[in-house]
């Protein structure tokens, strides 16, 4: 699930994976938001934006590109005030556009308001249709705009009540930061699908971020994660908390954050990501052992699981693949007649480590299978005599509707092929996935009642599975 | 009125002067729109945008900057289809922003819709307040967004009926181009404040533009100007016309288009701009003669009137001021300690033409007086013994609410000073303005019932003059 | 001669038309050089550069593009010191390159040295061959590098002596500014082919520039033009002059500077350019009268001559062609299928001025004839009944070897066609050129002993006419 | 030795670390050079350049920035031909400039010639002085220009003879690629200081590169390393080899290539870099054992040694520090009042891995000590109870004159402090370096007669140690 992009669900472009950051109570709010977004850059490289409030006026800057390229001293100087929110958005294959950059920033009857959103709404299309029938105009493809319209149309008395009314009508995943002239509101959806963590600077400012790594960078203390369904309002230096939504039957924290998406130094859903991944690797070694000379990782996302696999199995860990530091989005491959370089620009094999060896290769997931095939071939070309591919998540058979961008079922190799068929396709001597039960153990949810693993199980929480998707012929 | 920018009227940022262009029925619609916008660049240098329709999908590109810098072959290739509309927006001193770039492009219950607007609405603030109270959210400061909201909320049956209902609620100036998936609509407000002309390509496409110069460039034949209050709908190659608005008591074509704004080779409101300006110069020579050796212009806007003055007075016309071709918006003046270069970077005096001469200098208008003062001083420094400043419009005493960007009354030197005081300030040996009557004659409206000249007379058409403006102590 | 570019003479790329500026004795030397180059931008739009000296170290910044785009506050802050020289280089069709940007800046045995050069050397190829045979390496195609090599290899004792020795070996056109750590040297070639003028700031700094307009902009007093063959050395605030070269038989000031190249507000070779051009127009009216209703110019270079023609003939002057302010180098024409827009993007006709009229059109020169043909057709398309083209220079039949970039003889229409044939080609009802004698009168050189007019007469000064050029079949 | 930059040795700016690539015999020569340079990007991020030859004309493109940003399809299309050489240059703190970008490209008596150079000449200053005395002009600070001047001045008959004569006069480090219209020459200095490897494409082209990783990327077979003092000439598809230089007393292959500079997947000086580094880690574990719970690396350069340390010591390897993928050269830190973020933007600690642990941290070297201090503090702040810093190279006490950019002796902490003092400064509980003998073992040169380790030992090969450097008070 390396290549993620926005997709469409019944006519509404879904938000792809994103990162959000907010701060209130510090004179350098936009500077610190810039740093926080930089730490969350892995959650979205397509566009970034910051909206600040100086207490009476909101100011915005949004642009396509990387945080470090978008913001400089003059741009940040144009975003004054003690409060700010920011957003990074995932890079998409082609449908990306500036109009979808966040935070969304509007004026409505209540004044000015900006929203930064991580997650996907599953009933955005229906709500959009209703809103349009009632005269609303939409200027982006983002489902976040739906929330803003619902908020603006609410007849409730206070801003919080309006926001709650709006959010009660949406279904799906949302970790939200909402900024007005004089307050910052943070909300996490009732099932807790996307993460959101609260921190505090020594000087007193409150900070909110998708992952703890952003708090660490600015040396903010981690206070706690927002609870699923919790709403925090910070105003005049005072923080109020409430639980305004109906209790759901179960939680649905995204297990894929632990598998691939989050940074290993972050803690999410109560666990450190690196430790969880290492446990996945240990579990994988127990479930899918291999007779081999060494364990290597597909860097960087497979490293923790590979070390876990090595420690559990006793097979030495080594570095068999090197990742280039210089593969960015601007790399233009030369003309057609040269063979396609693809993954070779990103990864290179260490021949002397691999030559003559039976190698366990640990990766986090297989999506289409094409990249895995190239990697296995690269390792064999470097002299490995056997390649045993081990995957630290179960077969990915179902698309995600809550914010991880996955291709359609047809393109997911595990939706239409058996593990043996996949092993053959990727040219591995053996292929083993961790079991869903094993993954549950690794994330500390053995009964699987706190995490959503629909991408592996197809057990969606809100009945999103639609006919065309179900049509796919299942072979597994 | 050289430096124009957006300003605020009761909380709504007004659209500054702009240019619009549209075409339907040609496979190179966006390419031709690009050329048309290039020809209209003088009407707005802040931002530009094009929206095209391929019959089912609209695509947009809007950016800050000049037309030639924004659009290139790949960008235009991303705007396919047989129909397109485009917009250029005037450069503002600081409040400019990408969010205000046009055409506005939205999705609403009826599908996709884009609007390009030239002109200002005078009741935008009231309408915006009503719309917000009804739950609307605004993503720009542009009053054009008000029209789009009204359109989307209309309960009328057809698109045209919705648009008409929306426009019946707005007051002020609008020449509009509206693009949907399958039609292009052009409307001119009932008082005809802003221009809009219809043309036709030999190959059959219909073209609409703010000025005829855009039609000339792409070798489109000029068919006719839209009438005030006329609405054209072009769909499936068929053009329908209607007059859906109540007849106003009078017309209010903007006289300042002829004085300064439009290109001299364009024809507007039934007259060629160059010829009108020349007649202004002749009238000025009759009303405000001068005993002088030569007549020069402040280039380029004063050239036609200066030639007219010369022909009427018999005083030879000559070139005493040269305009640089290389003054763009990017020129950064060096550090503080160097004296301010201002107008000197743009204009330079021809010493040998001016030395020892009594010079009539013709300019189109005086706004604050600071530029005129620098020009007169430059001419004297070049050796002129007398400078007689002649202005081809009456004293500018009142701000414009219909789309020409003028400073507040306090900053208009003629609002607070007599002509003698102004002459003294600008260091001219004499100063003469054309009379309002004379200007009326020059534009072919001697009874002044077709043109708006509120910037000179203060006689606004819709009672916009508000207390703070009226407060200014009048000395003239 | 609108489209000029570097060409090759016997294997050495010639310097195209350029502008140079230098200043010594002011703490804002590089800022003022930036302004001076901006005023000289018409002499070269391809690249620009500044080298400054702080008394011990020289610093350089050279880049492709326009002065206003290349230099900003941080770049200028990186060019400290009380002395600076700058250079603008003409835009070329394709062979342009950063390596040819000036000033050239090198280190040699005597320390650091920078040279800015306007003009072409005609024996550069021979000298380059000799230098290479002696082990020199060349890093640009510019003949200026030849001067630098000769200087570095001189065995003379002082810097000035080295420079004089170097310049005694070169033949051709050079106005030079040479900057070392502690001095600024200005030289004009013995025949005075290119201009160079000395000015002085009130505060005491000496300033040198290709044209007086650069001095005017920074409010420097014009002291005098350098004499042909004069060398000025400014060091420690003291200026020394000398005449170190052999007296030539005649002067050869470039007549084309007055015809087209220089700005009208500049004074060159003792005369104001605008006045000279007006006299050309008057002479042209006497030599080539026309029975017509009005006189128009091809703007901007034809304006002065057109006014002169009008005053002499009594036929009224009017503006029949408008020049766009927004045609820059970045304009990309849309795809092939659209007809070529060429000159239409730059010029547009004023239909109401031209309709039904017999028009005299005054332009400065005809090179290939293609542009003139388009202009005549545009004027006729706008309704003119007769077009009488009048050219304020004689037929351009010969290439220039001294710095004006002209195409080869084969491409010069007047080299191979009679005036009648040219008139027919450009579709003019009549065509008349000023005579060489008349041009001599207009520039104040009736005996033609001070100006070079080889581009009209073929009478080169140093025998450059080579066989291939002479081969062209002459029909005139 | 993370932060490397050009420095000056007796007035000549030395070439910093660089990478070179060349190919001859393939129609996509410049495209493949682009890919090769991309693979060598770690050797230089300041500027990059390619010169191609189409058999008769050389063409160049050099620019500041990263390979992927500089070259795109149109730029590469402008570099046609079957042969090309390329160069990447190291980023410097401030003194960087376009004029120093390589390959150098000149014209001399023999035609056109381009040179790409990796390494530093130690007698460049003397040679430059002699050349200048003889009339040479220098346009860059690069010592490579010295080679070009010597070549151009040689009176030898053939190109190879000229090049050999030139190289016989220089002392120091050079791996060179020289391109003329019809041949590619590759040379490695007699002591073999810098690497250079020969490869071959299946289709037949010869390829040369600083490291094997560049050959791997384009799927070229590694033929062999050039021998020290070897010169290869490839012309008309034929390769000739010779050993034209006097045999030196010993070899001096740069040991720091193995310690830090090269990519781990490359093989250099006969050994795979990753394996060598792992052996360093094992040796370090033997020499400097630690009583600890886990071993972590400072990524990425310390990873191999850390794994080696872990395998030797039996202490588990884990990931305690995460390296950001998004730290590029454009990151602008926010304003002063925010505490300096420095290394935190690049590295973050995994709290759960480190908490309560006694940690061995393996890094490749300590230069100034400031970065090590920050890293140790970061690890302790994450909860480690003990930090034992282990360095896989001996104390860096001496500057490098052969191409690794190091600060002056005064800034090298090990030049002026004992290991105990350094441990205290960096706040480590213990600090251990590998011994020089141990390092020799690890690189397979136990007698230290093939590698230069002057940066550790001060035993320079050509007596470069100059008085000011020797002045530093030695405490170790």
Among residues D9, D18, D121, D179, the one annotated as catalytic is D18
Residues with Cβ within 8 Å of residue B74, at least 6 apart in sequence? none
Asked if the structure places residue A6 within a domain, the reply is no
Say whether both D189 and D320 belong to one domain: no
Asked if the structure places residue C423 within a domain, the reply is yes
Report the C-alpha gap between A297 and A306 in whole angstroms. Answer: 5
Domain's final residue, options D248, D267, D297: D248
pLDDT digits (tens, 9 = 90+) for C204-218: 999 999 999 999 999
A222 and B CB contact within 8 Å: no
Per-residue pLDDT at D46: 87
pLDDT digits (tens, 9 = 90+) for A254-280: 999 999 999 999 999 999 999 999 999
Between chain B and chain D, are at least 3 CB pairs below 8 A? Answer: no
How large is the ipTM? 0.90
Asked if the structure places residue A213 within a domain, the reply is yes
Per-residue pLDDT at C329: 40
The three-state secondary structure class of A31 is helix
Per-residue pLDDT at C340: 59
Per-residue pLDDT at D328: 53
Task: Quote the minimal CA–CA distance from D230 to chain A in Å.
Answer: 26
Residue of D216, D294, D225 lying closest to D257 (CA atoms): D225
C11 and D CB contact within 8 Å: no
**Hey, which residues 30-69 in chain B have their CB within 8 Å of chain C?**
31-32, 34-35, 38-39, 41-42, 66-69
A12 and B CB contact within 8 Å: no
Which chains form contacts with chain B, at 3 or more CB pairs under 8 Å? A, C
Residue with tokens 């690497």: D195
Report the C-alpha gap between B464 and D32 in whole angstroms. Answer: 68
C106 and D CB contact within 8 Å: yes
B130 and C CB contact within 8 Å: no
Say whether both C183 and C285 belong to one domain: no
Pairwise CB contact (< 8 Å): C152 & D135? yes
Which of A319, A335, A345 minimises the CB distance to D303?
A: A319
pLDDT digits (tens, 9 = 90+) for A188-241: 999 999 999 999 999 899 999 999 999 999 999 999 999 999 999 999 999 999
Residues of chain D with C-beta less than 8 angstroms from the C-beta of A71:
332
In 3-state terms chain D splits into helix, strand, coil percentages (rounded to 5) of 30, 25, 45
Say whether both B244 and B283 belong to one domain: no
Report whether B391 contacts B363 (CB < 8 A). yes
C271 and D CB contact within 8 Å: no
Report the C-alpha gap between C37 and A261 in whole angstroms. Answer: 54
- A455 marked as binding residue: yes
Report the C-alpha gap between D103 and D123 in whole angstroms. Answer: 21
3-state secondary structure chain C: CCCCCCCEECCEECCCCEEEEEEECCCCHHHHHHHHHHHCHHHCCCEEEEEEECCCCEEEEEEECCHHHHCCHHHHHCCCCCEEEEEEECCCCCCCCHHHCCCEEEEECCEEEEEEEECCECCHHHHHHHHHHCCCCECCCCCHHHHHHHHHHCCCCCHHHHHHHHHHHCCECCEEEEEECCEEEEEECCCCCCCCEEEECCCCCEEEECCHHHHHHCCCEEEEECCCCCEEEEECCEEEEECCCCCCCCCCEEHHHHHHHCCCCCEECCEEHHHHHHHHHHHHHHHCCCCCCEEEECCCCCHHHHHHHHHHHCCCECCCEEECCCCCCCCCCCCCCCCCCHHHHCEEECHHHHCCCEEEEEECCCCCCHHHHHHHHHHHHCCCCEEEEEECCCCCCCCCCCCCCCCCHHHCHHHHCCHHHHHHHHCCCEEEECCHHHHHHHCCCCCCCCEECHHHHCCCCCCCCCHHHHCCCCCC
B203 and C CB contact within 8 Å: no
Pairwise CB contact (< 8 Å): B348 & C304? no
- Tell me: pLDDT of C173 over 90: yes
Say whether both C286 and C237 belong to one domain: no
Q: Please compute the mean of the pLDDT values over residues B400-415 and round it to a whole number.
A: 86
Which of D213, D272, D348 minimises the CB distance to A352?
A: D272
Report the C-alpha gap between C328 and C349 in whole angstroms. Answer: 19
Per-residue pLDDT at A142: 84
**D31 vs A376, D85, D306, CA distance in Å?**
26, 11, 37
Residue of D396, D401, D398 lying closest to D12 (CA atoms): D401
Say whether both D241 and D323 belong to one domain: no
Pairwise CB contact (< 8 Å): A136 & B105? no
Residue D290 belongs to a domain with what CATH number? 3.40.50.2020
pLDDT digits (tens, 9 = 90+) for B54-70: 999 999 999 988 898 89
Q: Please compute the mean of the pLDDT values over residues D420-443 and round it to a whole number.
A: 98
Other CB atoms within 10 A of residue C391 CB: 28
Q: Please compute the mean of the pLDDT values over residues B428-449 and round it to a whole number.
A: 96
Pairwise CB contact (< 8 Å): C137 & D105? no
Q: What angle do CA D333, D339, D340 make, to 5 degrees?
A: 50
Q: How many domains does chain B have?
A: 2
Which of C68, C319, C338 minimises the CB distance to B331?
A: C68
C274 and B CB contact within 8 Å: yes
Say whether both D41 and D132 belong to one domain: yes
Which of C132, C133, C149 minimises the CB distance to D137?
A: C149
Task: Quote the minimal CA–CA distance from A349 to chain B in Å.
Answer: 37
Report the C-alpha gap between B37 and B20 in whole angstroms. Answer: 7
Pairing between strand D358-363 and D294-297?
Answer: parallel
Which chains form contacts with chain A, at 3 or more CB pairs under 8 Å? B, D
Pairwise CB contact (< 8 Å): D132 & C148? no
> Best interface-test mutation with D: which of C78, C109, C169 has the largest number of D CBs within 10 A?
C109
Catalytic sites of C, residue numbers: 18
Pairwise CB contact (< 8 Å): A28 & D338? yes
Compute the count of residue pairs across chains C and D with CB atoms less than 8 Å apart.
62
Report whether B44 contacts B19 (CB < 8 A). yes
DSSP string, B375-393: HHHHHHHTT-SEEEEEESS
Residue of D196, D171, D165 lying closest to D43 (CA atoms): D196
Asked if the structure places residue B475 within a domain, the reply is no
Pairwise CB contact (< 8 Å): C152 & D137? yes
Confidence of residue B203 (pLDDT cuts 50, 70, 90): confident
> Best interface-test mutation with A: which of D300, D334, D341 has the largest number of A CBs within 10 A?
D334
Which of C303, C332, C351 minimises the CB distance to B73?
A: C332
Catalytic sites of B, residue numbers: 18
Lowest pLDDT segment from C197-211, C288-302, D393-407: D393-407
B152 and A CB contact within 8 Å: yes
DSSP string, A441-467: HHTT-TT-SSEE-HHHH---SS----H
pLDDT digits (tens, 9 = 90+) for C429-472: 999 999 999 999 999 999 989 999 999 999 998 766 554 444 44
Say whether both B286 and B176 belong to one domain: no
> Best interface-test mutation with C: which of B322, B345, B381 has the largest number of C CBs within 10 A?
B322
Q: Please compute the mean of the pLDDT values over residues C45-60 and round it to a whole number.
A: 95
Residue A89 belongs to a domain with what CATH number? 3.60.20.10
Report the C-alpha gap between B346 and B326 in whole angstroms. Answer: 8
Task: Quote the minimal CA–CA distance from C217 to chain B in Å.
Answer: 6
Report whether C73 contacts B335 (CB < 8 A). yes
Question: Residues of chain D with pLDDT > 70: what percent?
Answer: 89
Report whether C360 contacts C391 (CB < 8 A). no
Lowest pLDDT segment from A209-223, A307-321, B92-106, D115-129: B92-106
**Tokens at C243, concatenated:** 């005449």
pTM for the model stands at 0.89
Say whether both D226 and D282 belong to one domain: no
Q: In D317-387, where does DSSP find H-type helix?
A: 351-354, 370-381
Per-residue pLDDT at D74: 85
Q: What is the DSSP letter of D127?
A: H
Report whether B208 contacts B218 (CB < 8 A). no
- Considering chain A, what is the average pLDDT of its residues? 89
Report the C-alpha gap between C322 and B267 in whole angstroms. Answer: 14
- Tell me: pLDDT of C9 over 90: no
Residue with tokens 């510019």: C142
Say whether both A112 and A165 belong to one domain: yes
Question: Residues of chain B with pLDDT > 90: what percent?
Answer: 79
pLDDT digits (tens, 9 = 90+) for A110-138: 999 999 999 999 999 999 999 999 999 99
Report whether C317 contacts C345 (CB < 8 A). no
My answer on whether omega of the bond before C471 falls inside 30° of 0, hence cis, is: no
Confidence of residue B212 (pLDDT cuts 50, 70, 90): very high
The three-state secondary structure class of B31 is helix
Asked if the structure places residue A24 within a domain, the reply is yes
The three-state secondary structure class of B267 is strand
Say whether both D240 and D110 belong to one domain: yes
Confidence of residue C401 (pLDDT cuts 50, 70, 90): confident
Report the residue of chain B nearest C347, measured CA to CA. Answer: B217
- C30 marked as binding residue: no
Confidence of residue A464 (pLDDT cuts 50, 70, 90): low
Residues with Cβ within 8 Å of residue C10, at least 6 apart in sequence? C125, C466
Asked if the structure places residue B267 within a domain, the reply is no
Report the C-alpha gap between C253 and D193 in whole angstroms. Answer: 59
Say whether both C237 and C317 belong to one domain: no
Task: Quote the minimal CA–CA distance from B98 to chain C in Å.
Answer: 21
pLDDT digits (tens, 9 = 90+) for B253-292: 999 999 999 999 999 999 999 999 999 999 999 999 999 9
Per-residue pLDDT at C264: 96
Per-residue pLDDT at C109: 96
Asked if the structure places residue C10 within a domain, the reply is no
Report the C-alpha gap between C316 and D165 in whole angstroms. Answer: 76
- Tell me: pLDDT of B91 over 80: no
Say whether both B111 and B164 belong to one domain: yes
- C96 marked as binding residue: no
Q: In D170-257, where does DSSP find H-type helix?
A: 212-217, 255-256
Asked if the structure places residue A253 within a domain, the reply is no
Element (H, E) at A352: helix A351-354
Question: Residues of chain B with pLDDT > 70: what percent?
Answer: 89
Domain that holds residue C410: 277-444
């Amino acid at each position: 699930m390396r290549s993620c992009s926005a997709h469409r669900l019944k006519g509404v472009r879904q938000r792809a994976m994103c990162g959000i950051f907010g701060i209130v109570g510090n004179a350098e709010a936009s500077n610190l938001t810039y740093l926080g977004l930089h730490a969350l850059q892995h959650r979205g490289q397509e566009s970034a934006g910051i909206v600040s409030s100086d207490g009476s006026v909101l100011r915005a800057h949004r642009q396509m590109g990387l945080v470090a390229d978008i913001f400089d001293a003059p741009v940040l100087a144009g975003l004054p005030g003690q409060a700010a929110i920011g957003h990074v958005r995932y890079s998409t294959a082609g449908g990306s556009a500036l109009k979808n950059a966040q935070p969304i920033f509007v004026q409505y009857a209540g004044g000015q308001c900006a929203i930064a959103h991580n997650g996907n709404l599953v009933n955005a299309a229906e709500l959009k249709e209703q809103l349009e029938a009632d005269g609303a105009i939409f200027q982006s493809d983002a489902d976040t705009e739906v929330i803003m319209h619902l908020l603006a149309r609410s007849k409730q008395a206070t801003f919080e009540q309006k926001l709650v009314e709006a959010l009660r009508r949406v279904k799906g995943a949302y970790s939200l930061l909402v900024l007005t002239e004089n307050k910052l509101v943070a909300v996490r959806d009732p099932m807790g699908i996307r993460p959101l963590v609260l921190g505090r600077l020594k000087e007193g400012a409150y900070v909110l971020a998708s992952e703890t790594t952003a708090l660490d960078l600015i040396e903010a203390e981690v206070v706690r994660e927002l609870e699923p369904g919790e709403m925090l309002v910070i105003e005049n230096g005072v923080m109020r908390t409430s639980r305004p939504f109906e209790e759901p039957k179960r939680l649905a924290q995204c297990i894929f954050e632990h598998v691939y998406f989050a940074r290993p130094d972050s803690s999410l859903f109560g666990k450190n990501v690196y430790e969880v991944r290492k446990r996945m690797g240990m579990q994988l070694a127990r479930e899918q052992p291999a007779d081999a000379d060494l364990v290597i990782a597909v860097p960087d996302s497979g490293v923790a699981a590979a070390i876990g696999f090595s420690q559990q199995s006793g097979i030495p860990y080594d570095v068999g693949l090197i990742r280039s530091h210089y593969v960015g989005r601007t790399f233009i491959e030369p003309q057609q007649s040269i063979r396609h370089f693809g993954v070779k620009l990103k990864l290179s094999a260490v021949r002397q480590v691999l030559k003559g060896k039976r190698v366990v290769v640990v990766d986090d997931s297989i999506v289409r299978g094409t990249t895995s095939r190239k990697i296995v071939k690269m390792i064999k070309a470097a002299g490995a005599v056997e390649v045993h591919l081990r995957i630290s998540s179960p077969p990915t058979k179902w698309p995600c509707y809550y914010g991880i961008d996955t291709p359609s079922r047809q393109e997911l190799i595990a939706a239409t092929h058996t593990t043996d068929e996949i092993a053959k396709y990727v040219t591995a001597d053996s292929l083993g996935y961790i079991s869903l039960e094993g993954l549950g153990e690794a994330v500390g949810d053995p009964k699987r009642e706190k995490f959503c693993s629909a991408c592996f199980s197809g057990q969606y929480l809100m009945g999103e599975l639609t006919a065309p998707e179900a049509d796919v012929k299942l072979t597994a």
